[in-house]
Amino acid sequence: MSGEASRGDGGRPARRKAKLARLKADAREQRGLFEARREEPVTRYPKQTIAMCAGGVFVGKTPYEAAVRARDAHPDRASFFYLYGVGIPWMGA
């Protein structure tokens, strides 16, 4: 038996690792989507936090506000955030 099975955790570490890999890939994809259309949201929402999640744009006055909007719309997806000139990937809770 493998170490994972003998601990009685039913493969949870493997599932967590797979979920993290999926979220990382999703965050990279969201960044690519943001970069492809960067000028439009940055111009439209100056001095605000922009979250790209599942191909949609979510905006807030604070990073928390943008994160909540993105998470509420797509709880199982990763986001890419743009904060006043800096891009930050986020992979959810």
User: Which amino acid, one-letter code, is at 36?
Assistant: A
The pLDDT tens digits of the residues spanning 18-69 come to: 999 999 999 999 999 999 999 999 999 999 999 999 999 999 999 999 999 9
> How far from 26 is each of 1, 12, 22, 51, 56, CA to CA, in Å?
33, 21, 6, 13, 13
Q: Record the pTM.
A: 0.76
Per-residue pLDDT, 1: 47
Of 26, 12, 35, nearest to 91 by C-alpha is: 26
Kindly provide the residue ranges of all beta strands, DSSP E only, lying in the chain, ordered along the sequence.
49-53, 56-60, 79-83, 86-90
How confident is the model at residue 89, as a pLDDT? 67
Residue 48 in contact with residue 57, Cβ under 8 Å? no
Residue 3 has pLDDT above 60, yes or no: no
Q: Which pLDDT value is given to residue 56?
A: 97
How many Cα atoms within 13 Å fall on the side-chain side of residue 91? Answer: 12
- Domain range summary for the chain, segments of one domain joined by +: 10-90
